[in-house]
Amino acid sequence: MDQNNEFLEEDEDELYEHFRITADPGQSLMRLDKYLSHHLKHASRTRIQNAIDTESVKVNNATVKSSYKVKPHDVITISMAQPPREPTEILPENIPLNIVYEDDEVLIINKAPEMVVHPGHGNWTGTLVNALVFHFANLPTSQNGVIRPGLVHRIDKGTSGLLVIAKTEYAMQYLAKQFADHTTERTYNALVWGELKEPKGTINANIGRGFKDRRLSDVFPDGDHGRVAITHYEVIKPMRYVSLIKCNLETGRTHQIRAHMKHLGHPLFNDATYGGDRVLRGDLFSKYKQFVDNCFEMLPRQALHAKSLGFKHPKTKEWMQFDSELPADFQGVIDKWEHYLQHK
């Protein structure tokens, strides 16, 4: 690339990457698709064309066609579905999937609790990706043959709920753009410690990797570090020492809800990573502590569920909306807590 090219930081939470390229002062007229193929050596022509077709490429802040002639000083911005990082041969595994919806372009999965989405250190098998590779032979692959089973977003291992999977390269790019533009709808249910002062509100505080522990996400309310993160929350059911809330994500940072709720003083119930795996509200008399420990055993993970998901369909352009019920472990703890309060 020429010296005017600037690589923009990849959003670590979603599977897409951004670029900005400024054409040289002496740039001769050249078709946009040809220009990008020359400057984005790692990207296949298919990826570039899909980005243009889905209006993920802009020149001077305007959408253009492949035939547009790049001129000197043009500023080109590109957002593309992220290619896979790991040169792996992913082992297909016959793991049952809870398929909510499927057509030629997309697949909606209701992920079970404790299932890892993508193979990685310590979790090379038993993942959602291993299951997808077994059940779906023609999911998108990168140009070098590395398996990329349509991931455009992820949820944590301990989080249950809805995920959309792209079944074609075009669908992957079209969905990735929606996640990048924050035009999808994602609603989560969470059980948090304590009763919130306000029945609804918005947390607008940057999130970034922790300085002390890079595996954690820290909140930087002054905006001096991290990236913009916005969570809208509303209390569904206050239960004295805990509250069932719903959260709508405007952005999709790593551990966003978990980090934001801890910052607010209401960590997720049984979230060991962010301090929610001990009694944080209520007296510490033995009967109550035993009750909480029993709830922890019923729900051995953070109390977070990706309940609803909405997006525009890649082909029909119609709005698709999906909803899911709370899994048995999550609902069981809510029922148990309500029963405890009634008989207290």
Asked whether the predicted pLDDT for residue 307 surpasses 50, the reply is yes
Q: What is the pLDDT of residue 2?
A: 39
Residues recognised as catalytic: 156
Residue 238, number of CB atoms within 10 A of its CB: 14
- High-pLDDT (> 70) share of the chain, %: 89
For 282: left if phi > 0, alpha if psi spans -120 to 50, otherwise beta; the answer is left
Query: CA-CA distance, 67 to 213, in Å (whole number)?
Result: 48
Write out pLDDT tens, residues 260-298: 999 999 999 999 999 999 999 988 788 999 999 999 999
**Residue spans in the chain of domains classed CATH 3.30.2350.10:** 99-181, 185-342
pTM above 0.85, yes or no: no
- The CATH classification number of 6-81 equals 3.10.290.10
Band (pLDDT 50/70/90 cuts) for residue 195 is: very high
Q: If you average pLDDT over residues 65-82, what whole number do you get?
A: 87
Q: What is the pLDDT of residue 8?
A: 34
Q: What is the pLDDT of residue 15?
A: 56
Helix (H) or strand (E) holding 62: strand 62-63
**Residue spans in the chain of domains classed CATH 3.10.290.10:** 6-81
Architecture of domain 99-181 in this structure:
2-Layer Sandwich (3.30)
Q: What is the pLDDT of residue 16?
A: 61
Q: What is the pLDDT of residue 147?
A: 54
Please give the residue that has the higher pLDDT: either 27 or 187: 187
The CATH topology of domain 185-342 is Pseudouridine synthase (3.30.2350)
